[in-house]
Every structure is written in structure tokens, then in C-alpha cells.
Structure 1
């Protein structure tokens, strides 16, 4: 719980807020694998005892990712290995849970070595599995060198000076309701420079050869009455340049909750191919209603495109919903202290599902990942006057086992946890004397 509170502080989140209460509940759930290990492992022989903790870790991670309103943003050990590409390839089969299992298994092996007087036979199964995973991952990377047809993709954000001026002008309207009730002409004047900056950057990059241009989450903004006019301007650029533009928009509405967070993909004919609303608002931070959670797709000459928004990428089930996708677009908006970590986590989704992932993140780190987790390009919002990134992205994805079978590995860990528990109930308890010699006590004696 102390570590979780520090994580909130370090990430720039308001520590004393509803987010803290939710985080502490999740921290308590994180204790469960340790309790299970202490209750069960001592009653199991050899290497079997080392499997209790990793199976428990994956079971809790899966439960939090599936049931909590924050997905796996606080609970994924796999995120710590985002740049260990040989190891990361296993997520194409197991999801991120496979890496979490290996990390927790290593911890359990070390703990049991210390506890049992360095009985090395417990190390062999873990060592063999880890070696197999690393070898397989290295071979997958070696035989999947970047090749084939690519498409030039550009991510653009508003100029920092323009966005900061706009934000200062909106300081007097801290809630969407107040902004919805403000003078419409004033709102148009404040939004116009930001939209113009994005439109100019879009046309510049499209004329330079980008066939797909991605705005960040909430990049552009308009009142409901002005929304179509902004989309018409985007459509005109798309038609002139022959590009696809995925525009992240905030729309101020006249009814509660007075705000909508959406993306619109406009094709080279000027037609809107999708309108998608963010499915997973951040609890306590995003003041709008969730969308229907249906991930949109569009077949194009540059592969099948799909789209989610920012926090949606922290829900593995949502990210594999679209099926066979070649390029996943993830418009995002972060904040200083969290942007880089959030983008690194999103890169794991690319390996899991075998698609390239374009995360244009204003107020953070934007990046493009190929289907094997390689970073093709990145751009830090805080180190440039106008964040722009360009990458040549593979137009074909790399189908994965995980995208087809889903969280089977997590379910196997849940089943293993139950089986280990039953086996422990039937087994004799193994204890360790101060000299390191093992002895037995019957289950009846324990109870």
C-alpha cells in the first residue's frame, strides 16, 4: 500500500483523491499471492512449491485486468520488461501474463533456495523454461526482421505555445458544464488556434508523403454546433492529399456530462469511416460517459486499421477485440511523469496481438511499435516546440496465438492454483530445520 501511494505521487496523480482509495483496494489484492504461497507451498514437494506464487500472481493480475475499472495499469509485472524483446515475444502466446509468471517464478525460486538451504534441484525447471522462452524469442526476432511493404505514418500534436495559451484562456472554466454555458464566440476563438495548428501540421505531413496522419486524444476541440465544420476542414485536407486522418476530438455538448471524447477517421474521399468514443474513461479524472466499447476497423490499401483511445489500451481484452488488425491507432493524452511509462506499457499490446501500434500522445511520449515490439520512432512532447513523429510502418500484421485464444494461459494459472491447493491439502507438510534438513508433519498434526 505504501508502494502504491508512492507510485501515485511519482506519476503526478493527485494522491489524496478517489484514485487513492481504489489503488489501496488493488494493493490489498496484490497481497493474495504472498498469502497463498505461505499457506500452500510448504506442503508441496520440490519444484511444485515454486509454482504457487507465480500462479497466484497471474490469477490476481487477470482478475484485476478483467474486473477492475483501471485494467492492468497498476498490476502488470510484464510492463517492467517492455524493452527486453527476446523475453517479450512470449506474450504473443500467453499475453503479458507469461512474462509476469516468469518474473514471479524467479522470485519464488530464489526464496525457496534461501529457505531450503540452497536445494538447487528446484532451479532446473525454471532455468529450462526461461532458456526456452529466451531462445524462442530470439529466433522469432531473427526470422521476423523488418521487411515488406510499409506505409508512411505521421503523428502530430498542436504547437506547445498554442496549446498552453488555449489552456490559460480556459482556466476560468474548470468544468465541462461551465464551458458549455460560456459565450460560444469566445469558445470558438479559444479553440481555433489549436485546431488550426493541427490542420496545418496535418496538411504539411500529408503533402510530405504521410498516408496516415494521427492526432492525439482530445487534440482538436469544438462545440457540438461547430463539430461538422471542423470535420469538413479535415476532410478537405484528406481529399487534397490522398491521406487518412484519424482526428482525436473533444466535443462540448449541451447536455450532461457536457463533453464527449471521440476520434473520427476520415478517408481520402473525405468520408468518415468511423466515429469512436473512448470506452474506458479514467476513474476520477475523465468527466464524460464511456462509449459502447466496440473497436472500429477500416480496410484500406495500407492494411486493416483499428482504433482505441489512450486508457483503453490498458484493457487487454478490448485490445484484441477487433480480430485481424494490421495497424492499431491509439490517440492519447498523458501528463509529465507518466507519459513515457504509459506508452511503454502500450507497446506490449502490439506484440500480444501482432499489429503495429501508433500511439500519438500529447503531453507525453508518442511512439510507434512494430508487431514484434520494436520501437520505430518516438517523440517527447516536452522536448520539442511541436511534437511530430514519422515512421514507415508495416502494412501487414503478424498473427499471434494470443490474439486467437485469448487469456487461456491466465485460465490455466487459475486452474493450477486450484490444483496446487487441493494437492497441498492432501500432502504432508514439509518443514525446514535450522540446519537445513527437511522433516515432515502430517496434515492432521497441522490442523
Structure 2
């Protein structure tokens, strides 16, 4: 078989459409329906190629390149710090995109290999086997990206779950299974779209062939003048299969099952969102209002010369009733322990004077490592005591290259406003790290942040998923980005865009931690998909002879069980006859 063949027009155009839909999928240009179309087209393209054919090598590489280029454009400008466009910053984005393309292709190779092996002649049959075949691709996808998110220096960046942020009922599913559950549903939906389209094309082709056969039958034969009438054999459904098998085929039909699952997810998400204030059933506003605490942030830009401005703004916010005040990420810099102590003394004085909780942020130079810093955040209570001192655990890859990572421990402190937690900016892109907030039942998470270029809005949107997953209220103080406040149901409490200076205030409800399924079981769904994916790969790679032996053993065991059930069912009849 030739390695290179002349491609058809569809073989050239479909990857280009995948490129465009990928560009408008996860990333800075998010359009929620695009991932469904992109994945369905990718699956259809690979299905037509035949994944194990040598001739499919170059078309597959072409598809991966298209996904990589689309992903590169989707995140173009991620590393752009200033106003000038730097083309060289696109390289890492393209490389990451190609890596994501390889993972997607691997997931669908496994999916198609399963179908070709276990549904060779009945790809669109109904029943449990067909339903199981639609789950292989989503499970392998989730498994691969679960591993990636666990080890990647950029965390969960690129997850297709974030592209669904406009579909609020679907976002609420993160409270059950995290972003892995949303990813599974999106990929499953794309698989069903491909299945329905393929089935439609298959039926249309069958109808055309049937019409041709009827035309041939109606044409008079030269050898016989007698009209030939086609005969049909009618078979009842009972003759084709038992009642039990028929019921099983109906219950496990892939498309209806998917629609029922999606309907359940949307009902759950909608009810969770609208009942966030506890209004069920028709409760008046007076019985559902939650007390609030005025929470504010001071926007800084890591400039020592602006320290008087930050302090004056902190005084003004405290005087106007703010009870919790934090600074944005690395608002200032301290080069020595003495400078840090001086900053602490000032912060303690403000906290004691106004009786507020104050969080100050600073970049602390390492005395034993020239040019390196720690990204620090210290929280003081109303008496000026240090509640915790936190060092950013996940510095930004390719940006904070000289920032020392801190321990992978999320700090918490109990106050009269509830249990407060903290994480700094990029920390919230790591779901496994942030799961500590759910395990420790944090009520309010205070997040200093700093972003750049065009990614500020994307970061604020992505990180709001952590509030849904872990059941806490998220107060985000962002420099060069939106400052936001979200409750555990992702209802927006406040939003303001700032550059390098300014303030932001929101009335944050004193809501206790909301227990979520995800906060109890963590990323269990992702791990289940990992186990299922491993099993699927083993069965796909298993030699045919061993697979047949295994299948015979399973069928034998099922047959023996069925015979036992039948014999038990006939025992009363024999007993009645004996009587």
C-alpha cells in the first residue's frame, strides 16, 4: 500500500475546518459549540482514513498540524507582556497545540480500533455493546488529559471544559465530577453527533441502493415476458431476538441514553444555580437574605515607588467600612528581611487601628540566590497577628522562571467571617491543588492575582470553576485583569477591570462552605476513566486468538448462569405437576 496518495477535496478541507473550530474552541476566542464540531470532524476524518492504514500516516500528521496551528492561534498573545506583538512568542503555543493534537488522535485511534474490533459489521446497532463503544473515546480522552493536568507545568490550561463557561447548567456539573466530567460529556456529545451523521449517510446510501434495485426489478427482462413480483419475508421481532434482548437494546440505545444523561445534567445544573439562595419553595426575600462582609482589594503593579498610594488606598477602604482588604499579587518588593519586617509592622498597625483583616503581597528577594524571589502573601487579623504566610506554590511556566515555588499546601485560617483560605493567581489553574479548599471546607478564598496582555478575562473565567468544584466563595483581586467575586454556585457578586492601580469592593455573602460531591470524592471520575481506558487499550491490543479465548470463557460463564436461572424458574412447575 502506498504511503502517499492523491488526497480528495474533503481530505484537504476537513482539517482546515478543524483548524478554524479549534481556534474558536478553548482559548482566548472561546465559542462554546465549536469543540463539539471540531471533535466530531476529527473523529469523522480519522474514521474515513482508517487509523491502522499506512496510507493514513501523512493525512493524520496533517490533521495534527491543523489542530496545533488552531490551538496556537487560540492562545496567541499568551506570553505578550507589552503592547507590541512578538511573533516568536507563538512558538510555544503551537508546540503545546501539536501535543494536544497527538493526544486527541490517540484517543480516537483507540475509539475507532474498539469499534472495528467489537462492532465490525454492526457499527450502528443498538444495545449495550453499541453504547459501550460510544464511551471509549470520551474515557480515553479524559484519561490522557487527567494525566496531563496532573504533571503539566501549566495545569489545566487548554481544557475543553472551560469553553463551556457560557452553558451555566453544564458548568454546575463541575460540583459533581470536576472538569473531567464536563470534558467527558463534551466528547461524548461529539461522538454521538458523528454517529448520527454517519448513520444518516449510511441510510441515505442504503436508500439509493434500494431504489436502484427496484429499478432493476421493474425493468422488463428480455428472457421472460412474465412480470416478476418481489417477495418479502415477514419476521416478527420475537423471531429475531428474545424479549429480554429487545428490552436491553432499547434501554441501552446510545443516542437516547446520551440525551437522557445530558437532560439530567442540565436539570441538575439549572436547579443548583437557581436555588443558590435557598429560595425553594417560594420563600420570601426576607427569609433568604445572607449577611455580607464588605471585602476590598488594592491594585498594585510591583512598584516600590507606589507604596504610599497602596497604603493610602488601604486606609481609605478601611475608613469606608471594608472589613477584609487584600492587595493584588506582588504589589511591592522587599529585598531584605528588614524591609519585610517594616512592611509587616505597617500592616499590623493598619489592622489594629481599624480592626480589619488585611492581606499584603510582595516579591521577596532570596538572599542566597541572586535574581530569584518568592511570591509571598501574608494575612493579618484584627489584632495584627499573622494568620498565615503563604508562598505561591505554582509559579507561571515560561514567565515566573526565577520565582521559587512554595509548598503544595493551601493555607487556611478561622475568623469571625468564616474559614478563610488563600491561593495566588496561577495556583487556581491546578484543580488537584485547589481541591484542598474543598477538603478543608474553606468558606471564602482570597486570591491575589496579576496577569498581562489578553489573558486576564480568560483567567478570571477559568478560575471561577474552582468555586463550583469546591463549594467556596471566591474573591479575586486582579492587577491588569478583572477583579471578581463569585459564590459557590458561580453567581457573579462583583466585577471590575483594572490596570496597574485602583480598587475594587464587593459585598461578599457570609455563606458557609457548600458541600459538593467533588469536594468529597475529588477527581474520582477522572481516575475511573483512566482505569477504563487502560482496559480498553489492553482489549484493543490483545491478539485475536487470546481475545477469542477470553470471549469464549465469558460467554460460557454467562451461558451457565442463564441455564441455572432457567432451571430454577422451572422448578415450581415440576412441583405443581407432582402435587
TM over 0.5: yes
Distance 2:362 2:316 in 1: 20
What are the equivalent positions in structure 2 for 1:352-367 lying under 5 Å apart? 352-367=469-484
Instruction: Please list the CA deviations of residues 149-204 of structure 1 after superposition, one character each: whole Å capped at 9, or x if unmatched.
Output: 3222112203xxxx5xx8xxxxxxxxxxxxxxxxxxxxxxx61x322222222221
What is the CA–CA distance in structure 2 between the aligned matches of 1:385 and 1:254, rounded to whole Å?
Answer: 29
Out of 341, 344, 364, which is 1:231 matched to? 344
Question: Quick one: structure 1 residues 402 and 391, their matched pair in 2 at CA, closer, same or farther if it must change by over 3 Å?
Answer: same
1:280 matched residue in structure 2: 394
Query: Whole-Å Cα distance in 1 between the matches of residues 189 and 543 of structure 2?
Result: 24
CA contact (8 A) 2:131 2:254 kept: yes
Q: Which whole-Å CA distance do the structure 2 matches of 1:324 and 1:207 have between them?
A: 31
**What are structure 2's unaligned runs of at least 5 residues?**
1-67, 81-87, 120-128, 204-249, 279-288, 545-550, 552-579
Instruction: Summarize the alignment of residues 54-65 of structure 1 with structure 2, pairs less than 5 Å apart.
Output: 54-65=138-149
The Cα of 1:252 is off from its aligned counterpart by 2.6
Matched, 1:261 2:384: no
Residues 69 and 94, structure 2, Cα contact 8 Å, conserved in 1: no
Structure 1 position 94 matched with structure 2 position 177: yes
Describe the SS at the equivalent of 1:94. helix
Q: Which residue matches 1:213?
A: 325
- DSSP 3-state at the match of 2:404: coil
CA gap of 1:126–1:378, structure 2 versus 1, over 3 A, is same
| Cα RMSD for the two superposed structures | 2.5
Aligned to 1:439: none
Determine the structure 2 residue equivalent to 1:36.
110
Q: What residue is the counterpart of 1:50 in the other structure?
A: 134
Q: What per-residue deviation string (whole Å, max 9, x for no partner) do you get for residues 405-444 of structure 1?
A: 111111111222234445667899xxxxxxxxxxxxxx9x
Kindly indicate whether the alpha-carbon contact (under 8 Å) linking 2:484 and 2:493 is maintained by their aligned counterparts in 1.
yes
Asked whether the 8 Å contact 2:76–2:93 carries over to 1, the reply is no
2:280 counterpart of 1:197 = no
- Residue-by-residue CA offset, 1:90-142 (whole Å, 9 max, x unaligned): 11110111111111111110011122337895311110001001111122223
Distance 2:368 2:187 in 1: 48
Q: Distance in 1 between matches of 2:261 and 2:313?
A: 49
Instruction: Report the CA distance between 1:249 and its aligned residue.
Output: 1.0
- The residue matched to 1:396 in structure 2 has which SS? coil
Residue correspondences, number: 397
| Residue 406 (structure 1) aligns with | 522
Trace 1:81-230 onto structure 2 (pairs within 5 A): 81-117=164-200, 121-145=253-277, 147-158=289-300, 163=301, 191=304, 193-224=305-336, 225-230=338-343
* Contact 2:456-2:481 within 8 A present in 1 as well: yes
Q: Work out the CA distance in 1 between the residues paired with 2:372 and 2:271.
A: 52
Q: Write out per-residue CA displacement over residues 377-400 of structure 1, whole angstroms, 9 at most, x where no aligned residue.
A: 111114x96242323233412111
| 1:243 and 2:356 correspond | yes
1-structure distance, mates of 2:404, 2:77: 28
Q: Do the aligned residues in 2 keep the contact of 1:155 with 1:390 (CA within 8 Å)?
A: no
- For residues 22 and 423 of structure 1, the distance between their equivalents in structure 2, rounded to whole angstroms, comes to 30
> Larger Cα Rg: Structure 1 or Structure 2?
2
**TM superposition score normalised by structure 1:** 0.82
* Larger relative contact order, structure 1 or 2 (CA cutoff 8 Å, min sep 6): 1
| TM-score, scaled relative to structure 2 | 0.64
Match of 2:404 among 289, 297, 306: 289
Asked if the contact 2:290–2:509 (Cα under 8 Å) also holds between the matched residues in 1, the reply is: no
Once structures 1 and 2 are overlaid, which stretch shifts more, 32-41 or 104-113? Answer: 32-41
Residues 233 and 352 of structure 1: is their aligned pair in 2 closer, same or farther, counting only changes over 3 Å? Answer: same
Give, in angstroms, the shift of residue 342 of structure 1. 0.6
Higher strand share: 1
